[in-house]
Amino acid sequence: MNKAPAKSTCVILAGGLGTRLRSVVADVPKCLAPIGSRPFIDIQIRALANAGVDCVVLSLGHLAELVVAAIPPDHAGVHVRHVIERELLGTGGAIAYALDTLNLDEVLVANGDTYLEGNLSAMLLPLDRAKGELFRMAVVQVPDRARFGGVATDATHHVTRFIEKGQAGPGMINAGLYRLCREALPTARKGAYSLEADVLPSLATEGHVRTALINGEFIDIGVPDDYRRFCDRHG
């Protein structure tokens, strides 16, 4: 079977339970958290469309029916498709399920609770698989990476290691936007697994992960204080 074209396709991982945000946003999945009169996912899709994405795949689970009802198949000029998990699959399992279900090979992947502003053109370029690039990670520079953990790279922008949370100081962090191909995911592994814990460390060790530095706002609305801050800026 031929692979579906995926040059400008982005899979948005929006199937989580959103437990951190329940104290301020109840009864809706966190991708529908209200930002003024709009749900967060609307702002995210429009930002991706402005960057050049023309197809979005919403990877859904918890309260999926609410998201399907809120985001039509043609939203903000973007073709929207839905993939619904029947069980929690973790970030890695959810990506694999979306790729397999829709027969996709190379895509962007965004977390459904993060917002990244800036020039994303480097993330839309195809992976250089001939040189072993199977995974590209958007990173941003922050004044203190203690809360997030960090990303260390070499002179060729390959990830050399991931720095655990708690180490204070300026540095680069994972901005929650990736470009990856099916080859980056373990073929033998099925069910639930974590992209960040179970896949990325070994890919980086093998030299398959490169970074693209993005100059722009990054925010994780899954944290109540940052959700309120995002509402103040964009509501």
Give the start-to-end residue ranges of the domains of the chain. Answer: 9-234
Show pLDDT as tens, one digit a residue, over the chain (235 residues). 344 444 589 999 998 765 667 667 767 888 999 999 999 999 999 999 999 999 999 999 988 999 999 999 999 999 999 999 989 999 999 999 999 999 999 999 999 999 999 999 999 999 999 999 999 999 999 999 998 999 999 999 999 999 999 889 999 999 999 999 999 999 878 889 999 999 999 999 999 999 999 998 899 988 889 999 999 999 7
DSSP state for residue 158 in the 8-state scheme: B
The beta-strand segments (E) located in the chain are 9-14, 34-35, 38-39, 55-60, 74-75, 78-84, 106-111, 114-116, 135-142, 150-153, 159-163, 171-181, 209-213, 218-220
- 8 A C-beta contact, residue 58 and residue 71: yes
Q: To which H or E segment does residue 44 belong?
A: helix 40-51
- pLDDT at position 25, please? 72
DSSP state for residue 156 in the 8-state scheme: T
* Side chain identity at residue 70, one-letter code: A
Q: For domain 9-234, is the CATH number 3.30.465.10?
A: no
**Structure tokens of 18?**
């959103």
Which among 19, 17, 44, 7 is positioned nearest to 219, based on CA atoms? 44
CA angle, 215 then 141 then 119, to 5°: 15
Q: Which residues fall within 8 angstroms of residue 153, CB to CB, at 6 or more apart?
A: 139, 159, 160, 172, 211
Residue 223 exposed, middle or buried by CB count within 10 Å (0-12, 13-18, 19+)? middle
